[in-house]
């Protein structure tokens, strides 16, 4: 469980990137809700990666 929690931020970042890549390939780049959700997942993943890894090492 600790290993999954340690990689939670990275998983969120990869989900956000996968959504952006899928939107780029399908040509659905005008849908702001999908693009906003994916950038929110990337930002949330980055913040959680930093916070969780800082707490685990202490």
| pLDDT digit string (tens) for the chain, length 58 residues | 667 778 889 999 999 999 999 999 998 888 889 999 999 999 999 999 999 888 876 5
53 in Cβ contact with 12 (< 8 Å): no
35 in Cβ contact with 6 (< 8 Å): no
Length reported for the chain: 58
Q: Is 10 helix (H, G, I), strand (E, B) or coil?
A: helix
Q: Record the pTM.
A: 0.83
- Rounded Cα distance, 43 and 47, in Å: 6
């Amino acid at each position: 469980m600790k290993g999954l929690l340690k990689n939670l931020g990275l998983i969120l970042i990869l989900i956000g990137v996968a959504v952006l890549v899928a939107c780029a390939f399908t040509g659905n780049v005008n849908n702001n809700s999908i693009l906003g959700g994916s950038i929110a997942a990337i930002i949330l993943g980055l913040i959680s990666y930093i916070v969780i890894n800082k707490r685990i090492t202490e």
